[in-house]
Amino acid sequence: MSSAKGLLLHPAAKPLVFIACLLPFAWLAYGVAAAVLWNADTLGANPAEHLIRATGDWTLRMLCITLAITPVRVVTGTPALARFRRMLGLFVYFYVLLHLLSYSWFDMGFDLADIAKDIAKRPFILVGFSAFVLLTPLAATSFNRAVRALGARRWQALHKLVYLVAGLALLHFFWMRSGKNDFNEVFVYVAILAVLLGWRLAQRLKKKRRWPPVDGPDAL
């Protein structure tokens, strides 16, 4: 365990995690370049749909990884994992922004009036856009200066919105897949997030049973 802690605290650990988080984007960028420059079939028969879905999938995966940091840190006794949580959370926003841009560009041609109508007309788009809106203040306040400005308690309360974001993201994914009656991946994400959020609920109930109560930050 000490060797694992040493690796997590190594100066190269954060850059390596950063590069790993960028690999899906790099692969998609390569796919676009290959399709445009060499007419390669890297993005399938419907490149626009592939990019929209892939960026959405990676948003959900990064969200699950970010929410898994605290349970894994506590269960394995590796507090050094916490140093990656903020960066991973920003990658959630990075991929959801790519997802929104892909939809706005490939589906709607950056026509803001049509985008607004589509959001109002289709519930699954509205839910997904709501998740993006809620993630925006979390990304904007993920820096130390914002923590100091808001104060720890208010910052923690604001960042609990991530649980609502997780629920909205799942609902968006469910409605999107319901059109093709394909729920296999939906159930996988539901199970993962149920375990992660269930662990948090169990921890909160344990804390309420303690006497005297223990005050401390509720990490994501």
Q: What distance, in Å, lies between the first and last C-alpha atoms of the chain?
A: 23
**Token pair in block for residue 218:** 């509720």
Structural domain contains residue 133? yes
Structural domain contains residue 68? yes
Structural domain contains residue 127? yes
Structural domain contains residue 13? no
Q: What is the pLDDT of residues 91-104, one digit of tens each?
A: 999 999 999 999 99
What's the mean pLDDT in 142-148? 91
pLDDT for position 213? 52
Structural domain contains residue 7? no
Domain boundaries, position 202:
46-209
pTM: 0.91
What's the mean pLDDT in 117-136? 96
Per-residue pLDDT at 141 exceeds 80: yes
Structural domain contains residue 104? yes
Q: What is the pLDDT of residues 159-217, one digit of tens each?
A: 999 999 999 999 999 999 887 788 899 999 999 999 999 999 999 888 877 755 544 44
CA angle 213, 219, 220 (to 5 degrees): 135
Domains: count for the chain = 1
Structural domain contains residue 137? yes
